[in-house]
């Protein structure tokens, strides 16, 4: 249902493609984008760039911003770890003490939930309810719903990947700093690395960046997200319950967290994402100390056969916003995948080999088998 609503909103805001007038030529077929960029700590190299940026006649480029889905979580973790490094956030403190409202699993009311648990998907939160909060909504009401929680295991005891952790992470970051999430991420991560990137077209992206977007289309050509447009999006965030979209008026720090899509809303180019990869190959520099970076990548959870949902072998180890991948050939990679709106993406770093890569493909069947977007990226 949420995909249908999002698509309808996008069509209303950007306009549907009209049929060509009699005698006019039909538009050329749009080719799926397929991009791969390799990097080391000192060099970025284009492997291949194929297809269109979601617009017929305009080839995709490695500098075009694309919504990288759940890779966004790893970048959020960099921001959270900067706050932890600066003493603004204690990763093991009850997050309710930052927020000013209780965050508790009703089945385990005496067990606090911490940022470390949220970042490593061990909080007990589950994607069984809608975690997207309207612009005028209140995240505390979502957290109060017993359906949002795992009833079998207390916080910290069990791994289960869930998007719902991310809005709470963003809300805690806001409450601890008094800064709006998109602006906070721009200050902590994007601007220091000189990246032209942003969450839900918020702070961090240059004027006109939206016009360069890689439009995410479904295999049949239907719009999924981000039709290129000049000027600001009328409502880049999830609108209020009445359809309005006055972010400055309606958004409340520490009470929403989802408006700028911390779980998947980062718009960033393949080249700029490779620059974040170079941070991962430089032990966190210049953003994090070696000690803080080591704490971030962990792993803090390793599957032992019963301590988490490994999703049929998909998850074997996880740090704070960082997925660990064994390539089956003796190589250990850290990074994250992104899978949403007919996009498949992978961001992977092999620290021992001193290399990494970014790759993504668009117009992928959303019901296709989910993979790591590692050796193959459909």
Residue 88 tokens read as 């603004």
Residue 168 tokens read as 């709470």
> Phi first, then psi: what are they for 293, rounded to 5°?
-65, -45
* Helical segments of the chain, H only: 2-14, 71-85, 96-99, 115-119, 139-143, 165-177, 181-185, 247-250, 270-281, 290-297
| Domain map (residue ranges) of the chain | 2-12+32-361
pLDDT at 10 (0 to 100):
39
Residue 332 tokens read as 């250990």
Please calculate the CA angle 44-47-51 and round it to the nearest 5 degrees.
120
> Phi first, then psi: what are they for 47, rounded to 5°?
-85, -55
State pTM to two decimals. 0.91
Distance CA 209, CA 284 (A): 27
Could you give the count of Cα atoms lying within 13 Å of 160 in the half-sphere of its Cβ?
19
pLDDT at 140 (0 to 100):
96
Kind plus residue range of the DSSP H or E element containing 357 = strand 355-361
Which residues make beta-bridge pairs with 333?
Answer: 325
Strand 44-50 to strand 66-67: parallel, antiparallel, or no bridges (unpaired)? unpaired
Residues lower than pLDDT 50 in the chain:
1-27
pLDDT at 372 (0 to 100):
75
pLDDT at 370 (0 to 100):
64
Per-residue pLDDT tens over the stretch 168-214: 999 999 999 999 999 999 999 999 999 999 999 999 999 989 999 99
Residue 137 tokens read as 């909504």
Pick the CATH number of 2-12+32-361 from 1.10.3720.10, 3.30.300.180, 3.40.47.10, 3.40.710.10: 3.40.710.10
pLDDT at 185 (0 to 100):
98
- Is residue 238 a contact partner of residue 25, using CB atoms and an 8 Å limit? no
pLDDT at 203 (0 to 100):
95
Residue 138 DSSP label: -
Q: How many residues does the chain have?
A: 378
Distance CA 364, CA 37 (A): 19
pLDDT at 374 (0 to 100):
86
pLDDT at 224 (0 to 100):
93
- Is residue 64 a contact partner of residue 213, using CB atoms and an 8 Å limit? yes
Residue 178 tokens read as 């008094």
Q: Which residues of 40-61 are buried (b: 16+ CB within 10 A; e: fewer)?
A: ebeebeeeebebbbbbeeeebb
- Is residue 271 a contact partner of residue 62, using CB atoms and an 8 Å limit? yes
Which residues make beta-bridge pairs with 125?
Answer: 149
């Amino acid at each position: 249902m949420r995909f249908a609503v999002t698509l309808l909103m996008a069509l209303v805001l950007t306009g549907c493609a009209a049929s060509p007038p009699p005698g006019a030529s039909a538009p050329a077929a749009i080719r799926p984008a397929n991009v791969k960029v390799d990097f080391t700590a000192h060099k970025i190299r284009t492997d291949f760039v194929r297809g269109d940026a979601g617009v017929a006649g305009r080839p995709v480029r490695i500098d075009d911003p694309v919504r990288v889905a759940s890779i966004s979580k790893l970048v959020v973790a960099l921001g959270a770890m900067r706050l932890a490094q600066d003493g603004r956030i204690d990763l093991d403190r009850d997050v309710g003490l930052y927020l000013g409202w209780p965050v508790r699993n009703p089945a385990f009311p005496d067990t606090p939930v911490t940022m470390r648990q949220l970042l490593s998907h061990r909080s007990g939160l589950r994607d069984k309810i809608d975690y997207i909060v309207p612009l005028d909504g209140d995240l505390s009401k979502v957290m109060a719903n017993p359906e949002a929680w795992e009833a079998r295991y207390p916080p910290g005891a069990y791994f289960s990947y869930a998007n719902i952790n991310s809005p709470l992470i963003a809300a805690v970051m806001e409450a601890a700093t008094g800064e709006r999430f998109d602006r906070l991420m721009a200050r902590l991560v994007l601007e220091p690395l000189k990246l032209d990137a942003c969450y839900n077209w918020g702070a961090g992206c240059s004027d006109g960046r939206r016009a360069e977007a890689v439009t995410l289309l479904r295999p049949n050509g239907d719009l999924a997200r981000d039709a290129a447009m000049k000027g600001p999006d009328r409502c880049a965030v999830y609108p209020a319950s009445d359809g309005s979209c006055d972010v400055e008026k309606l958004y409340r720090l520490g009470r929403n967290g989802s408006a700028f899509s911390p779980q998947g809303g980062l718009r960033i180019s393949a080249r700029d994402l490779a620059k974040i990869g170079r941070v991962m190959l430089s032990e966190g520099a210049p953003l994090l100390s070696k000690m803080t970076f080591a704490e971030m990548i962990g792993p803090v959870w390793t599957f032992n056969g019963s301590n988490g949902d490994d999703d049929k072998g998909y998850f074997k180890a996880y740090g704070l916003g960082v997925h660990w991948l064994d390539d089956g050939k003796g190589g250990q990679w850290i990074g994250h995948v992104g899978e949403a709106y007919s996009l498949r993406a992978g961001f992977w770093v092999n620290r021992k080999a001193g290399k990494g890569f970014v790759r993504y493909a668009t117009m992928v069947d959303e019901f296709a088998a989910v993979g790591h977007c590692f050796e193959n990226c459909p």
